[in-house]
Structure 1
Amino acid sequence: MGKTVLHLVLALALILGAGSAAAAPVQTSVPRTQQMAAKTLTGVRFGVSDEYERVVFDLTTLPAYEIYTENDGQTIVMFLSGAHSRAVQPKISGSIVENVHVSTVPQGIKVVLNLAAPAAYEVKTLANPTRLFIDVQKEYERITEEEPAPGLKLSTLRRLDERGRLTGWVLEADPARYRAVPVLAKGVVAGRATVSAMSDMAGAVAAVNASYFAPSGDILGLLKMDGTVVGTTYFRRSAVGFDDAGKTFFGPVDYSGTVTLGRVRFPVGGVDAERGADSLVIYNHYYSATTHTNEYGQEYIIKGGRVASVSASNTAIPRDGLVISVHGKARDAFAQVKVGDSARVDEQMGAPWETLPTVIGAGPMLVKDGRVHVTAAEEEFPSDITVGRAPRTAFGVTADGRYLLAVVDGRQSHSIGCTLQEMAEFMLQFGAVDAINFDGGGSSALVVGGKLENSPSDGAERAVGSALALLPR
């Protein structure tokens, strides 16, 4: 009996001892729970000031964290190590921060801030109460650079200020490596194509849209290719010209011309353009296979300085000659002209334009001698070009002669575009000492290495009349 009692006591002691040993892990689990609770994200809030947009993270205790950017600075990513969350996704009503996404990951909490554009930011903390907040700067300017090919530098500017967001591109090119040449849509004046198509057709390293144009593709402004005029202007407008070595010339240019058939002389109304009433138009092989004229005129085929034949309309244009197309008063003036009569064409553009093989007329001027010099009023440009912000295309040159092909987007949420004054300032920022405005609006497009860099305001590339392309020397 005594032994039995002793055994029971020993057994009870063993049971109690085992119970005490098993209780230890339960007691240590309490501090772990308290530790997790001490790293809890309890709320996420959003606020806006004049200078920044702030995302606030309410915490029980500040955990270790790391933060970095992705998507070329347009996404901010933050990890809160060892934390867990009771927070809901915040409502965002900012201009820079588009949304904030909070998720649980094995190592803690992942927070993603998606921005409308890359922006500077600052991370700050606060004790009592514990908070961590990210201030995203509302006004910013960021320029990134890359080298698409030797002798080329592509700069992308993203900016936000009191005017709004602006996105623009500038391609700087070494004229010792590349020559600038105009390219016609589909290889002729009478047609339209995208800048991408013209760049591919020419085998260019880059291209931008160039001259103003009519719906038919006819060039509106002076255009000279390989020494031949293929477009004319009715106003004194700005142009950029290139000599054989690639040196640039900027300034105003106008065109005048006369045609003499037999003993009759008549002023030129246009070159490679739609024939108007009582007008004389010169057509060369750059225009198209035929003149596309109606039956109400008369056309003289010129070869070797003589009238080779006479046609009524839509005449085939010889590659080794011209077609002189006349209507109304011009037709009456040449009524006595016959096959075999002498033919002479005189064209005047003044110096230096007459001796340059390449001239691209557009306008107005933006920069002259390193200063803003907008000549829209003097050149009588209409309000759709001169008033307000819009997508813009420009060509400039630096002090050491490097070419600048520039485009800014406009009429879109990511970019408001530029006024002519602002476009001049944009060109100055990238080192232009002279710069000219090209056609803009939905026509603005920059293609580099076969890739469209900007976002045209039409939603897709517009078919235009011509482009300025960079070809390897």
Structure 2
Amino acid sequence: MRVAPGVEYRSFTLPASHGPARAHLLTVDLRDPRVRLDLLYPGAVAARRTVSAMADAAGAVAAVNGDFFNITETQHPGVEATGASVGPAVASGRQLKAAVPDGQRFGPALPPGTHTPDVFGVGVDRRARLDRLDLHGTVRTEHARLPLGGLNQYALPVGSVGAFTSDWGTVSRLRSVCGTDTDRAAPCSTDTHEVTVRAGRVVATADTPGAGPVGAHETVLVGRESGAQALRKLSVGERVLVRHRLVAADTRVPFRFAVGGYPVLRDGRPLPGLDPLTSAVRSAVGVSDSGYRLHLLALDGAPEFRSGLTIAEVAQLMRELGARDAFSLDGGGSSTLASRDPGAPAVTVRNHPSGGIERPVPNAIGVFADG
């Protein structure tokens, strides 16, 4: 079915190791100048909304759910789950956040050789690609220069300083000092400090991370362990300069849009070590034709199809669809694919979410088409 110029939707049933699976597929042609992709998100990093609501609000003709996220905090009583995504996020060229440490990730185990900074996205050259977005940042004070360990992340590396901007939202920043780089369930740090910087000067300090909105011209610095000790040396009125950017490790081409997840297919070959046994409802995106043709996939969660695919089967399916590279997105109750019928005022969810209703998620891949 033609959704819009350069955008097609179809569904099909395929045999799988755990029973039949139903696939919902969007094919997107980026060679058509009327077509583009961008990140859909609720207006804040630490927030969630359904895929269909985000698509309609942004005027997208189609969408599929995005990254894994901080969905629960059962290991840390009294700590609020942030709803923030695991990996980096870039929307309309705006760098929203960086990746949490590998050990702080929510979702299935990462395949060998993959990491939380891995992204799928589209560069300023209009070509889609897989890459890794690394955070390059510093905090300069009158007496020291500190490396920046995080940007709008629900988890900071042990011993680091992280920056929170107005893109974060209003949710408490306390979760950022819980767990360790290798153990998400480890206790929250008791050695913390927070500094608020406005217009280049310290305006407030606190012993524990706070909550509430961050001003448009403010940056809140949160430190844990040695990072906290460094922040304690700052006094109200002192000059502080915070700089940060996300850098594409492989290509150095800036991303106009990027979302986290993990690679499953590179150069036409499945990654070594992909799980061939665990089957689930999944979402993924494939890249072909030198980055100009995309395959956006979400499986159906209806009872007769809920067994889904293994991640190894997802990689094989993407290869059969013609993808050279493929990237796994969040799955299970998050898997959602929506598209708009020509002339319709709103999108329609095409698959059956496995939870029975759409799950609010932190972000999604939006497809836009003029005309």
**What is the TM-score with the length of structure 2 in the denominator?**
0.76
Deviation of 1:424 (Å): 1.3
Equivalent-residue separation in structure 1 for 2:29 and 2:333 (angstroms): 28
1:30-429 pair list within 5 angstroms: 146-160=1-15, 163-175=18-30, 176-184=33-41, 186-215=42-71, 216-225=82-91, 226-235=93-102, 236-237=115-116, 238-255=118-135, 257-274=137-154, 278-289=159-170, 292-293=173-174, 297-304=192-199, 306-312=200-206, 313-314=210-211, 316-338=213-235, 339-347=237-245, 349=247, 350-352=249-251, 355-363=254-262, 365-369=263-267, 371-374=268-271, 387-399=277-289, 401-410=292-301, 412-429=303-320
Equivalent-residue separation in structure 1 for 2:7 and 2:324 (angstroms): 19
Q: Give the % identical residues.
A: 25
Equivalent-residue separation in structure 2 for 1:387 and 1:261 (angstroms): 52
Deviations for 1:367-421, whole angstroms, at most 9, x for unmatched residues?
223x2322566xxxxx8xx751111111122216122211122573135311112
8 A Cα contact 1:275 1:281, kept in partner: no
Deviation of 1:288 (Å): 0.6
Count of residues in correspondence between the two structures:
317
Q: 254-263 or 211-220, which moves further after superposition? A: 254-263
Structure 2 CA distance for partners of 1:376 and 1:285, relative to 1, 3 Å: farther
**Match for residue 74 of structure 2?**
none
Q: Give the letter for the 2:286 counterpart.
A: G
Q: Give the letter for the 2:88 counterpart.
A: L
Equivalent-residue separation in structure 2 for 1:467 and 1:406 (angstroms): 12
Structure 2 CA distance for partners of 1:158 and 1:340, relative to 1, 3 Å: same
Deviation of 1:217 (Å): 1.1
Q: Greater helix percent: which structure?
A: 1
**What is the TM-score with the length of structure 1 in the denominator?**
0.60
Three-state SS of the structure 2 residue aligned to 1:218 is coil
Equivalent-residue separation in structure 2 for 1:161 and 1:297 (angstroms): 49
**Match for residue 56 of structure 1?**
none
Structure 2 CA distance for partners of 1:351 and 1:460, relative to 1, 3 Å: same
Equivalent-residue separation in structure 2 for 1:416 and 1:458 (angstroms): 13
Deviation of 1:272 (Å): 1.3
What is the Cα-based RMSD across aligned positions, in Å? 2.8
Deviation of 1:430 (Å): 2.2
Extract unaligned runs of 5+ from structure 2.
72-81, 103-114, 176-189, 341-346
**Match for residue 467 of structure 1?**
364
Three-state SS of the structure 1 residue aligned to 2:229 is helix
Q: Give the letter for the 2:43 counterpart.
A: G
Q: Which has the higher contact order (CA 8 A, sep 6+)?
A: 2
8 A Cα contact 1:233 1:254, kept in partner: no
Q: Radius of gyration: which is bigger? A: 1
Q: Greater strand percent: which structure?
A: 1
1:453 to 325, 345, 350: 350
Deviation of 1:273 (Å): 2.4
Q: Give the letter for the 1:172 counterpart.
A: T
Equivalent-residue separation in structure 1 for 2:250 and 2:271 (angstroms): 22
Deviation of 1:326 (Å): 2.5
8 A Cα contact 2:98 2:134, kept in partner: no
Are residue 438 (structure 1) and residue 329 (structure 2) matched? yes
Structure 2 CA distance for partners of 1:353 and 1:198, relative to 1, 3 Å: farther
Extract unaligned runs of 5+ from structure 1.
1-145, 378-382
8 A Cα contact 1:170 1:406, kept in partner: yes
Deviations for 1:99-131, whole angstroms, at most 9, x for unmatched residues?
xxxxxxxxxxxxxxxxxxxxxxxxxxxxxxxxx
